[in-house]
């Protein structure tokens, strides 16, 4: 009856249709593997990932080989940054998604690294799961899993960051090593 009404969501520019995500193969253990960290510019993001790096190095025998920071919280990391992470690292931890746009773009970074064959774990605060899920669905990964931590992270003291990172450690390890955990059934 209303076929003549124009659908305002459809662009003649053919919006990108993303392929369904196939996750990167997971290593059985993290021991001896090279770890990459991809931080955004949110307060405490680098500190949080640094703590995660120390925990994974100390408790899982990993080596932090790259710690990068992307310049723009809204967009995905530059192609070169992602390529370098994928080339130099066996697994990558990304974060911290604790704002409206950066939670979604952190998930997009994680998905891009998975597509490049690098297992990744994205950290998102509990306040932004809807935004993270919306991005995952858009990118062809409707059941994509990430690590949630209590919100907020930006106002934590150094001790607070340390304990928040410690709380997240086992979930991060799980996402990086157990394929069944990375995409929920």
* Interface ranges with other proteins (CB under 8 A): 1-2, 4-13, 15-18, 72-76, 99-101, 103-105, 108, 128, 130-131, 134-135, 138-139
We find the least distance from the C-beta atom of residue 51 to other proteins, in angstroms, to be 21
We find the least distance from the C-beta atom of residue 111 to other proteins, in angstroms, to be 11
Nearer to other proteins, 27 or 152 (CB): 152
Nearer to other proteins, 128 or 144 (CB): 128
Tell me how many helices (H) and strands (E) the chain has: 6, 5
Q: Which residues pair with 148 in a beta bridge?
A: 124
Nearer to other proteins, 11 or 184 (CB): 11
Closest of 54, 57, 59, 78 to residue 68, by C-alpha: 78
We find the least distance from the C-beta atom of residue 64 to other proteins, in angstroms, to be 26
The rounded distance, in Å, linking the Cα atoms of 37 and 59 is 17
We find the least distance from the C-beta atom of residue 98 to other proteins, in angstroms, to be 9
We find the least distance from the C-beta atom of residue 42 to other proteins, in angstroms, to be 11
Estimate to the nearest angstrom the gap between the alpha carbon of 85 and the chain centroid.
13
Estimate to the nearest angstrom the gap between the alpha carbon of 10 and the chain centroid.
29
By the 10 Å C-beta count (0-12 exposed, 13-18 middle, 19+ buried), 11 is classed as: exposed
* Element (DSSP H or E) covering residue 45: helix 45-60
Nearer to other proteins, 51 or 133 (CB): 133
Nearer to other proteins, 7 or 28 (CB): 7
């Amino acid at each position: 009856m209303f076929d003549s009404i124009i659908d305002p969501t459809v662009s003649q520019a053919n919006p990108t249709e993303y392929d369904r995500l196939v996750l990167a193969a997971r290593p059985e253990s993290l021991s001896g593997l090279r770890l990459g960290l991809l931080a955004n510019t949110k307060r405490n993001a680098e500190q949080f990932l640094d703590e995660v790096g120390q925990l994974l190095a100390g408790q899982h025998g990993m080596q932090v080989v790259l710690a990068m920071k992307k310049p723009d919280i809204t967009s995905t990391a530059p192609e070169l940054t992602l390529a370098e992470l994928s080339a130099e690292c066996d697994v990558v931890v990304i974060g911290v998604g604790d704002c409206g746009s950066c939670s979604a773009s952190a998930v997009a970074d994680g998905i891009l690294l998975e597509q490049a064959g690098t297992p990744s774990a994205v950290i998102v605060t509990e306040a932004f799961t809807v935004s993270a899920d919306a991005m995952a669905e858009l990118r062809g990964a409707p059941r994509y899993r990430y690590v949630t931590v209590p919100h907020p992270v930006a106002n934590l003291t150094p001790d607070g960051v340390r304990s928040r990172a410690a709380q997240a450690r086992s979930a991060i390890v799980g996402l990086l090593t157990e394929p069944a955990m990375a995409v929920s059934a």
